[in-house]
Amino acid sequence: MRRRVKVLSAGVAAAVIATAAAADDYGKDAALEARFDSAISPAEMDGWLESLAAEPNHVGSAHDKANAEWVLQKFKDWGWDAKIETFKVLYPTPIKVGLELISDNPYTATLTESPVAGDDPTNTKDALPAYLAYQGDGDVTAPIVYANYGMPDDYEALKRMDVSVKGKIVIVRYGGGWRGLKPKLAEEHGAVGCIIFSDPHDDGYAVDDVYPAGPARPPQGFQRGSVEDMTLYPGDPLTPGVGATERAHRLSRAKSKVILHIPALPISYGDAQHFLAAMGGQVAPPSFRGSLGITYHIGDDDAAKAHLIVTSDWSLKTLYDVVATMRGAKYPDQWVLRGNHRDGWVMGATDPLAGQIAMLGEAKAIGELAKSGWRPKRTLVYLSWDGEEPGLLGSTEWAETHADELKKKAVVYVNSDTNARGYLFVEGSHSLQHFVNEVAEDVTDPETKATVGARLRGKLLADSLDQSASDKDKALGKIAADPSEDIPIGAMGSGSDYSVFLQHLGLASLNLGYGGERDWGGVYHSLYDDYKHHSTFVDPGEVYSGVLAKTAGRLVLRAADADLPPVRYSDVADTVAGYLDEVEKLADHKRAVAEAQARAFDLNAFSLASDPTKPGAAPTKLKFVPHFNFAPLENAVERLKQSAKAYDEALAKKGDSLSDAEKAKLFDIAREAEQALAPKEGLPGRPWYKNLITAPGTLTGYGAKTLPGVREAIEQERFSEADKYAALTADAINAYSDAIDEGTSLLIGKSK
- Determine the Cα–Cα distance for residues 497 and 735; give it in Å rounded to an integer: 27
Q: Least distance in Å: CB of 693 to a second copy?
A: 28
Question: Nearer to a second copy by C-beta: 447 or 662?
Answer: 447
Helices (H), 413-524: 433-440, 452-464, 471-480, 499
Region near a second copy per CB under 8 A, out of 175-183, 286-294, 569-577, 581-589: 286-294
Q: Which of 266, 229, 236 is nearest to 131 (CA)?
A: 266
Q: Least distance in Å: CB of 734 to a second copy?
A: 37
Do residues 118 and 272 touch, judged by C-beta distance below 8 A? no
How many residues line the site for a second copy (CB under 8 A)? 57
- Determine the Cα–Cα distance for residues 536 and 46; give it in Å rounded to an integer: 12
Of 18, 358, 454, 583, the one binding a second copy (CB under 8 A) is 454
Question: Nearer to a second copy by C-beta: 138 or 516?
Answer: 516
Indicate whether 315 belongs to the interface with a second copy (CB under 8 A).
Answer: no
Of 56, 121, 180, 200, the one binding a second copy (CB under 8 A) is 200
Of 283, 303, 316, 403, the one binding a second copy (CB under 8 A) is 283
Question: Nearer to a second copy by C-beta: 8 or 22?
Answer: 8
Question: Nearer to a second copy by C-beta: 174 or 630?
Answer: 174
SS (H, E, C) 532-570: HHHHHHHCHHHHHHHHHHHHHHHHHHHHHHCCCCCCCHH
Of 51, 318, 597, 629, the one binding a second copy (CB under 8 A) is 597
Strand partners, 490: 427
Do residues 353 and 535 touch, judged by C-beta distance below 8 A? no
Q: What does the longest C-alpha to C-alpha distance in the chain come to?
A: 88
What values do phi and psi take at 597, rounded to 5? Answer: -65, -40
Indicate whether 607 belongs to the interface with a second copy (CB under 8 A).
Answer: yes
Binding residues among 135-164 for a second copy as defined by CB under 8 A:
153
Indicate whether 293 belongs to the interface with a second copy (CB under 8 A).
Answer: yes
Q: Least distance in Å: CB of 295 to a second copy?
A: 5
Cα dist from 545 to 42, 77, 196, 413, 673, whole Å: 7, 21, 32, 19, 33
3 state SS of 333: strand
3 state SS of 311: strand
Q: Contact letters (x/-) for a second copy, 202-221, by CB under 8 A?
A: ---xxxxxx---x-x-----
Of 88, 168, 457, 639, the one binding a second copy (CB under 8 A) is 457
Region near a second copy per CB under 8 A, out of 87-95, 405-413, 448-456, 561-569: 448-456
Do residues 521 and 203 touch, judged by C-beta distance below 8 A? yes
Q: Which of 310, 307, 308, 285 is nearest to 295 (CA)?
A: 285
Question: Nearer to a second copy by C-beta: 153 or 638?
Answer: 153
Do residues 725 and 709 touch, judged by C-beta distance below 8 A? yes
Strand partners, 451: 444
Do residues 190 and 165 touch, judged by C-beta distance below 8 A? yes
Indicate whether 596 belongs to the interface with a second copy (CB under 8 A).
Answer: yes
Indicate whether 287 belongs to the interface with a second copy (CB under 8 A).
Answer: yes
SS (H, E, C) 42-71: HHHHHHHHHHHCCCCCCCCCHHHHHHHHHH
H or E element in which residue 620 lies: none
Do residues 376 and 559 touch, judged by C-beta distance below 8 A? no
Q: Least distance in Å: CB of 304 to a second copy?
A: 15
Binding residues among 518-547 for a second copy as defined by CB under 8 A:
518
Q: Least distance in Å: CB of 471 to a second copy?
A: 12
Region near a second copy per CB under 8 A, out of 284-292, 323-331, 506-514, 522-530: 284-292
Indicate whether 173 belongs to the interface with a second copy (CB under 8 A).
Answer: no
Q: Least distance in Å: CB of 175 to a second copy?
A: 14
Of 194, 292, 512, 651, the one binding a second copy (CB under 8 A) is 292
Indicate whether 291 belongs to the interface with a second copy (CB under 8 A).
Answer: yes
Q: Least distance in Å: CB of 582 to a second copy?
A: 18
Of 159, 289, 307, 330, the one binding a second copy (CB under 8 A) is 289
Do residues 127 and 256 touch, judged by C-beta distance below 8 A? no
- Determine the Cα–Cα distance for residues 259 and 135; give it in Å rounded to an integer: 6
Indicate whether 295 belongs to the interface with a second copy (CB under 8 A).
Answer: yes
- Determine the Cα–Cα distance for residues 703 and 700; give it in Å rounded to an integer: 5
Of 31, 373, 611, 659, the one binding a second copy (CB under 8 A) is 611
Binding residues among 323-342 for a second copy as defined by CB under 8 A:
none
Of 374, 606, 632, 687, the one binding a second copy (CB under 8 A) is 606
Strand partners, 144: 169
Q: Contact letters (x/-) for a second copy, 458-487, by CB under 8 A?
A: xx-xxxxx-xx--------x--xx------
- Determine the Cα–Cα distance for residues 385 and 490; give it in Å rounded to an integer: 23
Indicate whether 419 belongs to the interface with a second copy (CB under 8 A).
Answer: no
Indicate whether 657 belongs to the interface with a second copy (CB under 8 A).
Answer: no
SS (H, E, C) 131-196: CEECCCCEEEEEEEEECCCCCHHHHHHHHHCCCCCCCCEEEEECCCCCCCHHHHHHHHCCCCEEEE
**Which amino acid belongs to residue 512?**
L
Question: Nearer to a second copy by C-beta: 65 or 455?
Answer: 455
Question: Nearer to a second copy by C-beta: 273 or 545?
Answer: 273
Indicate whether 613 belongs to the interface with a second copy (CB under 8 A).
Answer: yes
Question: Nearer to a second copy by C-beta: 252 or 468?
Answer: 468
Region near a second copy per CB under 8 A, out of 35-43, 256-264, 350-358, 591-599: 591-599
Indicate whether 627 belongs to the interface with a second copy (CB under 8 A).
Answer: no
Do residues 240 and 690 touch, judged by C-beta distance below 8 A? no
Q: Least distance in Å: CB of 421 to a second copy?
A: 8
- Determine the Cα–Cα distance for residues 62 and 125; give it in Å rounded to an integer: 13
What values do phi and psi take at 694, rounded to 5? Answer: -150, 145
Positions touching a second copy (CB under 8 A) are 153, 200, 205-210, 214, 216, 283, 286-287, 289, 291-296, 422, 447-448, 450, 454-455, 457-459, 461-465, 467-468, 477, 480-481, 517-518, 593, 596-597, 599-600, 603-609, 611-613, 619
